Amino acid sequence: MKGTLVKKKLTLRLAAAVALSLAVSGCQGVSSDAGSGSDNAAKGVVKLAVNPWVGNEANAAVIGYLLEKELGYEVEEKNLKEEISWQGFETGEVDVIVENWGHEDLKQQYIEDKKVAVDLGPTGNKGVIGWYVPAWMAEKHPDITDYRNLNKYADLFKTSESGGKGQLLDGDPSFVTNDEALVTNLKLNYKVVYAGSEASLIKAAQQATAQQKPLLFYFYEPQWLFAKEKYVRVNLPPYTDGCDADPKKVNCDYPDYTLDKIASAKFAETGGAAFEFVKNFQWTNDDQNEVASYIALDGMSARDAAEKWVAAHESTWRAWLPAGT
């Protein structure tokens, strides 16, 4: 019995020592008030949604790099489709969507109704969506850029996937698009075919120029490819307020978008300097295209691309840092 009692006392002392050690190391390892990015202590974790196009990846790369290096946060990037990203505000999976294209329905649902998200204002990027043809096609057929003449050229755009109609090539099915409704409502002899991803859409556009292959395709800005090759936009009926209110009855062009940032309501309350930094973040289409081209064209990792841009543009990003940092 005596030996057992001694063992119990030793066990209790050992457990207490271990608990104290863990408590001390825990206090040393995590800080809620870390200094600059040179400090080893992390302020916390910021979860950024990264949607499947390289411009969005560029935003996230630069924001994430500076949150880590200048403000001492840990960053987790979540590769998610657009609508799934919004759901993450409820589940806690997402703190910030770094580039939102419109989505007034989702703003109503998550900001106004559920109150689990807040609008952080513009990214500074101007978004444009439209239909395009390679420049050589517009030169050869000048009237092809008027949607009213597209049926005349439908045979040029036929593919094995378009079922005897002309093909209108879209990107990822999750992207913002009214194209199926537009084809129907404008009575066009075309079928929307999805390339499946931004990379596949860009490859098709590049081949259309290099090989002089006819292509009518959905595309958007900001987009690094516009700085490398020439495409001409097809004129659809002009956008007017409310012409796209009913998704099934859309018969007009896309509006211009002021791209913005969306954050979870919880992050807005507890994000501190990270929240202020993301709110302050604003850059231009040229800035985004520069980082995106490093990734997509030069084969750099997103982090290396961000580091290269940050090194060359300190006068831009310094203004995003919260006062006193």
CATH number (domain holding residue 293):
3.40.190.10
- Confidence at residue 43, expressed as pLDDT on a 0 to 100 scale: 80
Q: How far apart are CA 304 and CA 294, in angstroms?
A: 9
- Asked if residue 288 belongs to a domain, the reply is yes
* Band (28; pLDDT cuts 50, 70, 90): very low
Q: Are residues 167 and 210 in the same domain?
A: yes
Q: Are residues 117 and 136 in the same domain?
A: no
- Asked if residue 210 belongs to a domain, the reply is yes
Q: Which of 277, 295, 316 is nearest to 67 (CA)?
A: 277
Residue that terminates a domain, selected from 200, 234, 268: 234
Residue 209 sits in a domain whose CATH number is: 3.40.190.100
- Confidence at residue 42, expressed as pLDDT on a 0 to 100 scale: 59
Q: Are residues 148 and 230 in the same domain?
A: yes
Least confident range from 52-56, 71-75, 320-324: namely 320-324
- Confidence at residue 21, expressed as pLDDT on a 0 to 100 scale: 39
**Taking residues 71-99, what's their average pLDDT?**
97
Number of domains in the chain: 2
Length of the chain: 325
- Asked if residue 242 belongs to a domain, the reply is no
- Confidence at residue 227, expressed as pLDDT on a 0 to 100 scale: 85
Q: How far apart are CA 38 and CA 140, in angstroms?
A: 58
- Confidence at residue 11, expressed as pLDDT on a 0 to 100 scale: 38
Higher local confidence (pLDDT), 25 or 118: 118
Higher local confidence (pLDDT), 95 or 12: 95
**Taking residues 228-235, what's their average pLDDT?**
95
Q: Are residues 270 and 316 in the same domain?
A: yes
Beta carbons of 68 and 41 less than 8 angstroms apart: no
Q: Are residues 151 and 295 in the same domain?
A: no
**Taking residues 187-212, what's their average pLDDT?**
97
Domain residues for the domain of 196 are 127-234
Whether the predicted pLDDT of 35 surpasses 50: no
Q: Are residues 216 and 315 in the same domain?
A: no
- Asked if residue 25 belongs to a domain, the reply is no
- Asked if residue 69 belongs to a domain, the reply is yes
- Asked if residue 245 belongs to a domain, the reply is no
- Confidence at residue 129, expressed as pLDDT on a 0 to 100 scale: 97
Mean pLDDT, the chain, whole residue set: 89
- Confidence at residue 324, expressed as pLDDT on a 0 to 100 scale: 79
Least confident range from 7-16, 74-83, 97-106, 290-299: namely 7-16
- Asked if residue 38 belongs to a domain, the reply is no
- Confidence at residue 30, expressed as pLDDT on a 0 to 100 scale: 29
Q: Are residues 117 and 147 in the same domain?
A: no
* Band (325; pLDDT cuts 50, 70, 90): confident
Residue that terminates a domain, selected from 234, 269, 298: 234
Q: How far apart are CA 124 and CA 142, in angstroms?
A: 34
